[in-house]
Amino acid sequence: MKTVTILGATGSIGTSTLDLIERSPEAFRVVALTANADVAKLAAAAKRTGARRAVVADETCLPALCELLAGSGIEAAAGAEAVCEAAAMGADVTVAAIVGCAGLKPAMRAVEAGGTLALANKEALVSAGDVMKRAIAAHGATLLPVDSEHSAIFQCLDRTAPAGVARIVLTASGGPFRDRSTDEMRAITPAQAIAHPNWSMGAKISVDSATMMNKGLELIEAFHLFPVPAERIDVLVHRQSVIHSMVEYVDGSVLAQLGTPDMRTPIAVALAWPQRMATPGERLDLVAVGRLDFEAPDPVRFPALTLAREALMAGGARPAILNAANEVAVAAFLAGRMGFLEIAAIVADTLERYDPAAPETLDAVLAVDAEARALTAERIGAVKAGAGRVMTQVVGVT
């Protein structure tokens, strides 16, 4: 039996992880569950799974959580430090599914505990890849990817002979606006942006998919996860989301992982590794699919991917700035404070105006993140004051 902690248990990844665990109660025992503020969902999951501890990040929600857990014997706690303490409880597998840079500290605490980190929070490696990799080596932790694309690469990659790998190909659905013109995308609403054609995901990651920033973040993450140079990691638009990613070898062989678009598959790979476990997802029917289409991503309509690749090649603090600016810009878009096309533009603007030294510690990464957020918020305020068109010209969108 494996012990499991889920950081971000009420989100999309957390809910899917719970579904798998509850289907195999003989194989898993839950140590801790955390959530941001959804105490009802958190308490219900903790009771169903018999978790030792339930933690809510929003301290104002603690009384409600205590009331819901009264008489259950489950420990209740609240606050950012309590989330980190839950991550450090020594579970065999810690699923890191807190969205955004908020998940960085808890993920690091799980690494320091020396177990297996099943990473669904791509921002942790994007913002602090070098710092996290050093910590993983120092503490003897194991890092397993949960993103469907990186899980696919993990399953196809011969890690004993990295010299035989010619390139890695990340596939992208292209999002809901893959056939829209730039002019058509100007009027995109948050409701349209979160309606992904293939995957069921949270609002932030759905917007990132729509701008293709998600694929840019995955590009950076893949660089830190796998022993392949950045220039040999490519992105290909694949509308059907059947091939989740591919590995090409020097002999011309291409290994691909295929499946239906169900996040329970890559989660199951991480939970059961090095074994396999059954999942309830729909099985792939290639006859029903009928065809698989591929195309190169359009850098003009989706400049976020170019921004991410440039940040990766530049290294240093650039990926952390990219991620921080994007989080703030996406939040502003979802709140109706800026347009869809301005998301990539504001990220480019922040990258242009802020270029600190490479962060060497987690605290330094968080300082870069905070400053980038402040600069991005400042520019969004200028957009509200009427400077939006200047911003869109930063990345050539007229």
Instruction: Note whether residue 194 is domain-resident.
Output: no
Residues 295 and 309: their CA atoms lie apart, in Å, by 18
What pLDDT is recorded for position 94?
A: 98
Distance from the Cα of residue 90 to its chain's centroid? 23
* Domain that residue 128 falls in: 2-146
Q: 97, 128, 146 — which closes off a domain? A: 146
Helix, strand or coil for residue 200? coil
What pLDDT is recorded for position 250?
A: 96
Instruction: Note whether residue 157 is domain-resident.
Output: no
Q: In 3D, which of 211, 196, 180 has the Cα closest to residue 341?
A: 211
Distance from the Cα of residue 249 to its chain's centroid? 27
Domain with residue 53: its CATH number is 3.40.50.720
Average pLDDT of each block of 10 consecutive residues along the chain (398 residues)?
A: 97 96 97 97 98 98 98 97 97 94 93 96 92 96 96 94 94 90 90 77 86 95 95 96 97 97 96 96 95 95 96 97 96 93 96 96 96 96 62 41
Domain with residue 344: its CATH number is 1.10.1740.10
By DSSP bridging, strand 165-172 and strand 243-249 are: antiparallel
Alpha-carbon dihedral sign for residues 97, 98, 99, 101: negative
Instruction: Note whether residue 24 is domain-resident.
Output: yes
Enter the DSSP assignment of 295: B
Phi-psi region of 314 (alpha: psi -120 to 50; beta: other; left: phi over 0): alpha
Are the C-beta atoms of 6 and 18 separated by less than 8 Å? yes
Q: 125, 146, 167 — which closes off a domain? A: 146
Residues 246 and 226: their CA atoms lie apart, in Å, by 13
What pLDDT is recorded for position 270?
A: 98
Domains: count for the chain: 2
134 exposed, middle or buried (CB, 10 Å; 0-12, 13-18, 19+)? middle
Strand order in the sheet with 165-172: 233-237, 165-172, 243-249, 254-258
Instruction: Note whether residue 190 is domain-resident.
Output: no
Instruction: Note whether residue 398 is domain-resident.
Output: yes
Query: Phi/psi of residue 92, each to 5°?
Result: -60, -40
Q: Please name the residues in contact with 215: beta carbons below 8 A apart, sequence gap of 6 or more.
A: 170, 172, 209, 235, 297, 305, 308
Instruction: Note whether residue 362 is domain-resident.
Output: yes
C-alpha distance from residue 71 to each of 66, 67, 76, 340 (Å):
9, 9, 11, 48
Are the C-beta atoms of 247 and 254 separated by less than 8 Å? yes
Amino acid at 129: G
Residues 232 and 212: their CA atoms lie apart, in Å, by 19
**Contacts from 87-91 at CB under 8 Å and sequence distance 24+?**
87/5, 87/7, 87/32, 87/34, 87/113, 88/112, 88/113, 89/5, 89/31, 89/32, 89/52, 89/53, 89/113, 90/3, 90/31, 90/114, 90/115, 91/3, 91/4, 91/5, 91/31, 91/32, 91/115
Instruction: Note whether residue 350 is domain-resident.
Output: yes
Instruction: Note whether residue 290 is domain-resident.
Output: no
Q: 146, 165, 195 — which closes off a domain? A: 146
Helix, strand or coil for residue 119? strand
Token representation of residue 128: 């602090």
